Structures are given as C-alpha cells and as structure tokens.
Amino acid sequence: MHTTTGSGRSPAGAGKAGPGTSALELVDRSVPGCFEIRPRVFADHRGRFVKVFVEEVFAARGLATRFAEEFYTVSARGVVRGMHLQLPPHDHDKIVYCPAGSVLDVVLDLRVGSPTFRRWDALELSAEAGNGLYIPRGVAHGFYALTDQAVMAYLVTTPHAPSHDAGIRWDSFGMIWPDPAPTLSARDAALPALEDFASPFEYGSRQP
C-alpha cells in the first residue's frame, strides 16, 4: 500500500486499534484526528463482503457516528478532485472509501494550532484493500484516481451547503501528485492557493 506524508514521519500510533477489531480497526494517521479504517475483508467464490462502519468502534474513539448525507463520485484515471471542505457552521467530519478501483487519497490540515497545521498526508485507498479514511472538520480532502474507473463513497455529518464550499488548489501545498497535469474541474483549478487561505478552523474546537 502506497503511503506518504508531508511531515516525512511515520504515522503516529500506527497499528493501534480500538474495540471490535474482529470487524475493523482504526489506525492513527500523521494528521491528528485522521484514522485509516481497516476492515476485515471476507471473500469467497461469490465475491467479497466489507463492513466500513461500526458505531461502537467509532464511538469508543470519540468520533462521529451520525451522518447527514452519503454520496459517491466516479472518476477516470488521472482525475484529481480536491482539495475540498466546508466552512463553519456547515463544516463536517467525513468518512471516505473506495469501493471500486483505487485512489491516492490526500488530506491537508487547515486547523490553526494543530501540530500538523498546513501539512498533508496521503495513502492509497482501494477496493482490494477495502480500507477507508476518517477525516475531521478543518481538514481538506482530495484524491487522484489511479485506475481507469475509481468510485469514491463519502459519509458526511452535515448536509452539502454550496454557499460554504471551500478548498485549496491541488498544487499549492507541496504534495507531489502522480501526474503533474491531471484532469481537473474548472472550479478546482480556480481554488485559492494555501498561502492565500485564511483558515477559520481552530485545532481542538468542535461544532455541534
């Protein structure tokens, strides 16, 4: 599995797991509050079964367990979507996973006061691994599609609020993407650079 981090350090607490590890485990990433979701993948002659969310496991870590919306995107190879987030009071925690294909998933910490403020972290999410990522509010998210078709599923704790959409331009924060000229939407290409983004997020604060 491809894993990189903007801090150049190994993920803090890697290998630690919460309760219910027979179903899945949550592994700390280098950005505080981000967790890789590693489920057990059950496979037989019919196919595969993967459980990506267990309320007990998430609640034991103090993470969100109620989600307002669920949606998915389908992307061709070489597409970058990101780096996205919503501004307060519509900011949200989210879970992302890749049920078809694979992506290089990227997060960027925009929480003032965080030990990883303005640093990024990345890991591969794939249908084969069945893994996902929990992302707290104040952390921007994006990905690069590694396969001809990559499906990304999202669970978010607040509804989509177009007036509070925000983001950071994909090439402005030091991440080395697999393709220097990816396929982008006009909106993503026009997002502000990291240095021009005045963050309203504070590390440790939490909205209801």
Catalytic residue positions, numbered = 84, 154
Q: Which of 65, 51, 63, 56 is nearest to 23 (CA)?
A: 51
The sign of the CA dihedral 202, 204, 205, 206 is positive
CB atoms within 10 A of CB 63: 17
Q: Which residue has the tokens 């026009």?
A: 190
